[in-house]
Structure 1
Amino acid sequence: MTTLADRLATLMAEKGLSQAELARMIGIKQPSVFKILSGQTLNPKNIVEIATALGVNVHWLKTGEGEREVNDKVITALYTEEQDEQHHLRVDLLDVQLAANSTGIINSDYPEVLSRLYFTEEGVQRLLGRTTTQGIYLFSVPTDSMMPTIMPDDLVFIDTKINEYIGDGVYAFNLNGELYIKRLQRLPTGIFRALSDNPLYPPFDITDELFDTAVIIGKFIRAVELKAKVL
C-alpha cells in the first residue's frame, strides 16, 4: 500500500464502504472520493476527517508511515463502562440472536441488553464517523464466516437505522427465520449476492422477490476490540 489511494481503497473494502457512503460520512461529494481513489487528488484537504471517520492514524493514512491504528490509550479514553459528564453517549451491547428475531425495533430496556459503553463526542466521531449513537448498537459476531475481516466473538458496531440495502457492505439480516451476516452486493440483473469474506463459505444469490421478505437488522460500521463488562 504505497499510495494514499491504495490505503484508502483497502480501508473502504475492509469496512464495506462505498464511495457515496464515505463521502456522506465526512461531508463531501462522491466525486471527491473518486479523485482520491484514482490518484487525481494526492493531498486532500479533508484528510483528518477521512482518517477520523475510518478510525486510523492521520499520519499513516497520508504517508503510509507509523502505526495504522490510533494509539490504544487514546481510544480507551474515548469510551468507558461508567457514564460521566464527558462520556454521555451510550451504546448497548445486544444479543444478536434475540435482536435478529425482533421486529426491527430494538428497545434498549429489553433483557437482550448485555452491557453498556459510554462514549465522548470525540470518541463517537473518531470510532464511528458519526455525531450521535442513536440507532447504533454493539453485537458479538457468532460466526467465522467473515474472517479475517471480522473474527468470531469480535464486537461490531451496527447502525440499526439502516433497514434497507443502501449499497455494498456488510449487513445483518433475517431471511426465512435464519440470521445472516454477509457482505451484500446487488448485481446488474437485480439479484442480490451474499458473500462471506471466509473462502470456506461459498456465496449465494437472493432473488429480488425473496429479498423483499428479508428483515435487515442493520449495516456494519466497524469491528473493534472492546472489553465490555457484563451487567
Structure 2
Amino acid sequence: MDTLAQRLKYLLDTQGVSQNALAKMIGVTQASIGKIIRGETLEPKKIFEIATALNADLEWLKTGQGNYEPEPISPVSSEPDENHTYRIDQLDVQAAANLDGMINPDFPDIIRSIWFSDDGVRKMLNRHNTQGISIIQVPTDSMVPTIYPKDLVFIDTRIKTFSTDGIYVFLLNDRLYIKRLQMLPTGVIQATSDNKNYQPFEITEELFDTALIVGKFIQVMSIDMRDL
C-alpha cells in the first residue's frame, strides 16, 4: 500500500466503516473523504482525527512506515506522560481488616502516586476522573475473597458519612478498619469481614457517632508496582 488513498481504503474496508460514517466521526463531508480515497487530497488537514477514529497509527497512515495498529497504551504508569494524566496517591496507612484494628500514624502520608490513562480510569475504575480517589493496602486476610493481603484498594475519600451498606474505611477509637458495614433494624451498625473465619461485631449508634469515615471502597486491583 504505497499511497495514503490505498491505506485509508484498506482501513475502511477491513473495519467495515463507510466513507459517510468516517466523515461524521471527524466532522467533515463525505465528499472530503472521497477526495482522499481517489488520491485527490494528499495531505488532509484532519489526518490525525482520521487515524484516531480508525484506531490506526498516525505515521503509518501518513507514510506507510511501521505497523498500522498503534502501540497499546498501558492503563497505568509510575510516571505522568501525555497518555497518563490522572493521578491517584497511595496513602501510608494500612487499614486493618481483623477484629482488633491497627493503630496508625497520623493519617496520611503519600507513599507513591500511580498515573492512569483516560481509558484506564474508565475501564478499571468505571469513572471519568480520579477526584477524591486514594489507594491503601490491607495487611490481613479477613476481607478475602473481596480483598487479598497487599491488594491495592481504591477508596472514595469524598464519602465521609455512612449512607448505604457497603465496605468502608473508618477510624474508631483511634484504630483504622476496613469492614463491610450494615445498618441493622435495631439502629446498630454491624461490621462484617468477608472471610467467614472472622466474627462480625456490632457498633452502637452512640459509639459510631465518634467514628471518622475515611472513605468508601470502590475497587480492588492487583497491580505489581515493580512492573510500572
SS at match of 1:147: coil
Q: Tell me which of the two structures has the higher relative contact order, counting C-alpha pairs closer than 8 angstroms and 6 or more residues apart.
A: 1
How many Å separate the matches in 2 of 1:179 and 1:122?
32
The structural deviation recorded for 1:228 is 2.3
Structure 1's unaligned 5+ residue stretches are 1-73, 107-111
Q: CA RMSD in A?
A: 2.4
How many Å separate the matches in 2 of 1:102 and 1:210?
21
Matches within 5 A, 1:98-117: 102=106, 112-117=109-114
Any runs of at least 4 consecutive aligned residues in structure 1 with deviations exceeding 4 A, and if so which? 97-103
Structure 2's unaligned 5+ residue stretches are 1-71, 96-102
SS at match of 1:96: strand
In structure 2, relative to structure 1, the CA distance for the partners of 1:224 and 1:188 (3 Å cut) is same
1:81 corresponds to which residue?
A: 78
2:5 corresponds to which residue?
A: none
Aligned-partner residue type, residue 216 of structure 1 = I
1:135 has 2:132 as partner: yes
How many Å separate the matches in 2 of 1:78 and 1:97?
25
Q: Which of 80, 89, 92 is the aligned partner of 2:89?
A: 92
1:158 has 2:155 as partner: yes
Among all aligned residue pairs of Structure 1 and Structure 2, give the percentage whose two residues are the same amino acid: 50
How many Å separate the matches in 2 of 1:101 and 1:136?
20
Task: Report if aligned partners of 1:81, 1:229 keep a CA contact under 8 Å in 2.
Answer: no
In structure 2, relative to structure 1, the CA distance for the partners of 1:178 and 1:158 (3 Å cut) is same
Query: Which structure dedicates a bigger proportion of its chain to strand?
Result: 2
The structural deviation recorded for 1:120 is 1.4
Q: Which of 152, 171, 174 is the aligned partner of 1:174?
A: 171
The structural deviation recorded for 1:207 is 0.8
Larger mean Cα displacement after TM superposition, 115-124 or 90-99: 90-99
The structural deviation recorded for 1:166 is 2.1
Task: Report if aligned partners of 1:100, 1:217 keep a CA contact under 8 Å in 2.
Answer: no
Aligned-partner residue type, residue 131 of structure 1 = H
> How big is each residue's C-alpha offset from its partner over 1:135-168, in whole Å with a ceiling of 9 and x where there is no partner?
1111111121101211111111111111111211
How many Å separate the matches in 2 of 1:143 and 1:133?
26
Q: Which of 177, 180, 184 is the aligned partner of 1:183?
A: 180
Normalised to the residue count of structure 2, the TM-score between the two structures is 0.60
1:120 corresponds to which residue?
A: 117
> How big is each residue's C-alpha offset from its partner over 1:155-213, in whole Å with a ceiling of 9 and x where there is no partner?
11111111111211111111001111110001122110000011111001111111110
2:54 corresponds to which residue?
A: none
How many Å separate the matches in 1 of 2:187 and 2:106?
27
1:213 has 2:210 as partner: yes
Task: Report if aligned partners of 2:158, 2:215 keep a CA contact under 8 Å in 1.
Answer: yes
Compare CA radii of gyration and give the structure with the larger one: 2
In structure 2, relative to structure 1, the CA distance for the partners of 1:89 and 1:100 (3 Å cut) is farther
Aligned-partner residue type, residue 165 of structure 2 = D
1:67 corresponds to which residue?
A: none
How many Å separate the matches in 2 of 1:137 and 1:229?
19
Task: Report if aligned partners of 1:101, 1:174 keep a CA contact under 8 Å in 2.
Answer: no
